[in-house]
A and B are shown apart, each in its own frame.
Chain A
């Protein structure tokens, strides 16, 4: 253990430093200048995001508890970009609402702590580290979900999240203990060598899967999603749906493709069923939602189902397509949430009917929303099309044509409700439309980045090739 191996944790150390700096800033910045805290946080996190692109060695430390390689590092960068966009989009909200109540700094501390937990989770080399990361990533979010203390729904969201999360992680922990009992180790590398499909191992695996499914909100562990999204502040709903889900998908994929690879015969079928259930239930429930946050909640459940189409392959193609899709999904969903956030902040309106006639008053926001929804629905030339097409290709490469077919049927179902929003914005008229307004610079920047991402990620093919090459590490 020397200094250079410590640098493997550079991302984590940097983020921890930011947390500490913000804490110091909170103490020393005078009360009437507290809004500079937002700029400081954005600035520091911006530097952190850029610094993340500096390459890191592939190695592991702490006896294998903490591992990192290029793909993990890349994914942390993706998460960073996502969080950075999210901060840009919620900067106005923080400045207008939270700073006055003197709760701005805590917001950043909790958010960054959760992100730190995700770093540890996806870098985990054993189940202990994994579990610590999982808890660290969940608990602060529960506090954040209840952040709008004046709203009852927000408190409800916080309680719901923490109770469901506690149950899920308890189940997961029980699964881990069963795996430990059968294999005699908590290190991934040790387990890979001894794992076999005995009944106890399979039971342990299923319980473990339940815990992670909760975070990804796969059916049947999705019940918390819509309520929590609806009650929580929009930036937290957005965080839960993109960053938290993305990180959980990533670690699930790593574990399935390495530790549980010998059990592929077992989990193929499980994933098959869960994928179908998640897509269908997510999509069918989304059809009738009126509240935009609930709408996006069910949409994001359905999107998780599509991700499983890549997971079922268990190979390099699956890894690459999942990472690629998650990255596109982060950009698309952030764009959609960003628009919802901008409108909610100015007018307090969150229902689909309120969006009627939006194009006539706010053409730019409407166009961004449409692009985001088309990307989520998988309409070219938005990146979502490429992400979905490749996921389907990955599943078809293993011969799951029926699953692909049902998946594409779901794309069609999802198109219906995405078009409902487009219909509201472009076709319907409204006697009392949302007035025309201009966003502040941070929000505009946050939305602009997502738009560029949605357009560029799909058409710029070398990116996929790059991800594909990185993906070789887990196979």
Chain B
């Protein structure tokens, strides 16, 4: 069995095993073992990738190809480059952390973990696919469990949020499907056979007219998942209603599918379309950056604050991708990884705070540092990393993005870059205000004095996320090199 297919097979086996478990204890044990194996596989994959890359110079390594539907030339084709390896590692970390955070899932635990792992199967499958059809299948598999996860285990207006999220993402996949079919039926433009294979399509010169038509469709289809303004509205509601682990996976991993798809499919396969349309979408992305940041200031619910902050940060990823600059691209990928870890951490901490205080309203919280020192300290660290303090992952990413974006000599781009940069200030405002209010400050509620400290499984989840956050900040170069190397085909193809 090859190294990549295992990323689908192991979660599926875990799901099947979960089907036979009874009660919370068995279910979480099986999920934890399964997720541990996946994390091990992901770490192993990173080392294997470096080893393979030293001898193998192709764009994608570990490629496997199984014919699926002969007449449509659909394959189950897998392969990874540095970007997907990094994202796979991110996914496996967040899934395991999510399992730890959900250690005490009271209601229907088996079903919860099954849905969670179905989601992760979809994400893994998406990142390893190099066939458009297979990719699309996994995309849908990743989205649909969200409905149950939010609907059953969520809080607040969960039915509404779950339906909104599912329908908006499925609506996006409607647009995407047309885009994919458009690419497919133009993949024989150079006289070859019709194909869904990304690497083969990248070699084809798709006619400009077709690129112009299908780029926006493909782009929007993915960008909705990446919370592009004005299609971001599913995201704050979804986050706010979702249970903790689902928010983590949702913001940490699922939304990364959007940026990855935009880059790998829309921009890589339709470069001329990207050139033609980038001015339009970059405006939307800039609006998203500012709008998300300003939205976060106005919110009083902890989850909404982070949800809007995610909109801002992920719009920054889209912004960076659309500047068509390799330094900014490098920053975009780093931002995806950094944001994934930080947001997952934030949601985990919010879940812990909420689990103890039973409120997420910042006006009712305050002085938690005194009673919850561990959670409080981590919260401050995460906050500082989030606003891009040097020494943490966020700084490296944003630095790259803005330096790269400013390299572009056109006035239009520079103005937009300056506007987008201002979001850093806004981010600092809401993060510092938040930390100041709920962590420092006076203790507002005497009932909070007896709050229990973090349990071992909560600490395990947090430390699991903290290690890569610090690692990414202190030693970003190995990752940066891996990404830069993988950007070569994009640079040749798109720029």
Interface residues of A (CB under 8 A from B): 317, 320, 374, 379-381, 385, 389-390, 392-393, 396-397, 401, 404-405, 408-409, 411-412, 415-416, 419, 422-423, 426-427, 461, 464-465, 468
Query: Per-position contact with A for B170-182: 1 when CB-CB < 8 Å, else 0?
Result: 1101110110011
Distance from B69 Cβ to chain A, minimum over Cβ atoms (Å)? 5
Q: Specify the main secondary structure of chain B where it touches its partner.
A: helix
Residue pair B178, A404 in contact (C-beta under 8 Å)? yes
Residue pair B69, A415 in contact (C-beta under 8 Å)? no
CB neighbours (8 Å) of A427 from chain B are 148, 151-152, 158-159, 162
Q: Which of A389, A404, A422 has the most CB of B within 10 A?
A: A389
Distance from B159 Cβ to chain A, minimum over Cβ atoms (Å)? 6
Distance from A8 Cβ to chain B, minimum over Cβ atoms (Å)? 29
Residue pair B159, A404 in contact (C-beta under 8 Å)? no
A246 to B127, CA, bound (A): 38
A392-B177, A408-B177 known; A423 and B159 CB under 8 Å?
yes
Residue in chain B with minimal CB distance to A462: B70
A390-B72, A393-B72 known; A415 and B181 CB under 8 Å?
no
Residue pair A401, B166 in contact (C-beta under 8 Å)? no
Residue pair A374, B69 in contact (C-beta under 8 Å)? no
Residue pair A397, B185 in contact (C-beta under 8 Å)? yes
A381-B137, A423-B151, A465-B69 known; A416 and B163 CB under 8 Å?
yes
A374 to B173, CA, bound (A): 15
A468 to B69, CA, bound (A): 11
A380-B137, A396-B185, A427-B159 known; A405 and B71 CB under 8 Å?
no
Distance from B225 Cβ to chain A, minimum over Cβ atoms (Å)? 14
CB neighbours (8 Å) of B175 from chain A are 405, 408
Residue pair A415, B140 in contact (C-beta under 8 Å)? no
Residue pair B151, A404 in contact (C-beta under 8 Å)? no
CB neighbours (8 Å) of A468 from chain B are 71
Residue in chain A with minimal CB distance to B141: A380
A444 to B216, CA, bound (A): 48
Interface residues of B in 417-476 (CB under 8 A from A): none
**B68 beta carbon closer than 8 Å to chain A:** yes
Distance from A198 Cβ to chain B, minimum over Cβ atoms (Å)? 35
- What total of chain B residues lie within 8 Å of the partner, measured CB to CB? 34
Residue in chain A with minimal CB distance to B133: A389
Residue pair B182, A409 in contact (C-beta under 8 Å)? no
Residue pair B148, A415 in contact (C-beta under 8 Å)? no
**B184 beta carbon closer than 8 Å to chain A:** yes
**B167 beta carbon closer than 8 Å to chain A:** yes
A-B CB contact pairs (8 Å), 5 listed: A381-B137, A396-B182, A404-B177, A423-B159, A465-B71
Task: A381-B137, A396-B184, A397-B185 are known; give 5 further A-B pairs, CB within 8 A.
Answer: A404-B177, A404-B181, A412-B167, A419-B147, A422-B148
CB neighbours (8 Å) of A385 from chain B are 137, 140
Distance from A406 Cβ to chain B, minimum over Cβ atoms (Å)? 9
A423-B159, A461-B69 known; A379 and B174 CB under 8 Å?
no
**B144 beta carbon closer than 8 Å to chain A:** yes
CB neighbours (8 Å) of B140 from chain A are 379-380, 385
A419 to B169, CA, bound (A): 14
A380-B137, A393-B184 known; A412 and B163 CB under 8 Å?
no
A397-B185, A404-B178 known; A419 and B166 CB under 8 Å?
yes
A222 to B177, CA, bound (A): 29
CB neighbours (8 Å) of A396 from chain B are 178, 181-182, 184-185
Closest 4 CB pairs of A and B: A408-B174, A396-B181, A427-B151, A380-B137
Q: Which of A317, A423, A468 has the most CB of B within 10 A?
A: A423
CB neighbours (8 Å) of B141 from chain A are 380-381
CB neighbours (8 Å) of A392 from chain B are 177, 181
CB neighbours (8 Å) of A379 from chain B are 140, 144
Contact of B182 among A320, A389, A401, A422 (CB under 8 A): A401
A401 to B171, CA, bound (A): 16
Residue pair A409, B71 in contact (C-beta under 8 Å)? no
CB neighbours (8 Å) of B69 from chain A are 461, 464-465
A25 to B152, CA, bound (A): 52
Query: Per-position contact with A for B65-89: 1 when CB-CB < 8 Å, else 0?
Result: 0001111101000000000000000
Distance from A440 Cβ to chain B, minimum over Cβ atoms (Å)? 24
A411 to B167, CA, bound (A): 10
Q: Which of A385, A397, A415 has the most CB of B within 10 A?
A: A415
CB neighbours (8 Å) of A415 from chain B are 166-167, 170
A272 to B275, CA, bound (A): 34
Distance from B77 Cβ to chain A, minimum over Cβ atoms (Å)? 14
A381-B141, A416-B163 known; A405 and B178 CB under 8 Å?
yes
A411 to B177, CA, bound (A): 11
Distance from B242 Cβ to chain A, minimum over Cβ atoms (Å)? 13
